[in-house]
Amino acid sequence: MPKTKEDKLQSILSEFSINTLNGVIVFDGEDNIIFCNNAAAKLYGFDNYSELENLTFRQAITHCYTTKKGLIVNTDDLDTWFKYAEKIRRSDTHRRFEIDLNDGGWHLVSEQIVDDNCIVVISIDITDKKHAELRLAEMTKQLLVLATTDALTNTFNRRHFTEQAEIEQQRCKRENKSYALLMLDLDYFKSINDNYGHACGDKVLVKVAEALKLELRQYDILGRIGGEEFAILLPNTNKSSALSIAQRIRESIENLPIKYKKNTLRVTTSIGVAVDLNADKNLDELFLEADKRLYKAKENGRNLVAIGKA
C-alpha cells in the first residue's frame, strides 16, 4: 500500500529521537503544533514535548510571554508582535535566525516551509558559542578603552585625543566653523609630589580631570597629554566663548578642595588658548600656538588664561 503524505512526514520525523539535543518542531498550515521533541519544548518554556500537544504557535508564544520562560518575547504589545511574526513566518521558504532564552541560553533556529505550508523548525543550542562571542566582544571593548584612555584620569590619552581632535578639526573646516584648543598645566605640581608623595599627586590629577569633565560640553574633547598637562578641543567655538570656558575651568580648579589624608590641598592651573576662526590651520599649528600661550600664562604669574590672537 503506497504511503500517504502524512505517512512520509511521520517517517521522516521518526528519524529524530524525541530526546535529541537539537530541537525539532513542526507546525501545520494553520500553525498548530503537530510534532515536537523535548529540546524544542524548552524553547517555549515547557519541560516535556507532550505539554505542547494540540497547542498553536500563538498559544506557545503566549506561554513564554506570560511565564517569562523559554524564548524572550520582547514587546509591550503582544498583538502587534504576533502580527509582525505571522507576516514574516512564511515570507520565505527558508529563514535562519538566533533567539535568546529567559534562562540565558541561545539557539540558532532554522525554519523551512515544506508541503501543505507546514513549517519545520530545527534549533541548535549555541549558548556556549554565543557567550564566547559576547566575552570576546567585551574583551575587545576593554582593549579599546585601554588603548585610547589614560588609565589614571579616564580621559583620552595623547594619541587618541589627537586622532579625535583631527576628526573634529576637519569637520569644522568642512562646515566653515571656528574651533579652539586649550592647553592646561597644573601649577607647581612637582611640589605636590615632593611634599605629599606620588599617590597624592595621582589623586590631584583624578580630581582635576573630574572637575574638567563637569565644565565641558558633551561634544568637547578632553585628554591628558602629559604628566600634569591636559588638552581640550572645543568644536564650534569662537574666541569669546573659548575665553569664557577657559576662565570657568581655571576658577573651577582654583576652588576645588582636594582632601588627602588629613590635608586639604588647593591647586591652580595655567591655560593657553588658541582659536582657529577660519578653520584654515592644521592641528599642529594650533598646538604650537596654545603651547606658546600656556607658557605666557606661566611667565605672567600662573593661575591665568592667555589667549592667542584671532
Residues identified as active-site:
228
Cell numbers given for 26? 513542526
Give phi and psi for 59, each to the nearest 5: -65, -40
Closest CA to 181 of 304, 286, 261: 286
Give phi and psi for 96, each to the nearest 5: -140, 130
Burial of 107 (0-12, 13-18, 19+ CB in 10 A): buried
Closest CA to 226 of 289, 166, 161: 161
Closest CA to 83 of 57, 122, 44, 107: 57
Beta carbons within 10 angstroms of residue 161's beta carbon: 22
Closest CA to 215 of 234, 192, 197, 193: 234
Dmax (CA) of the chain: 107
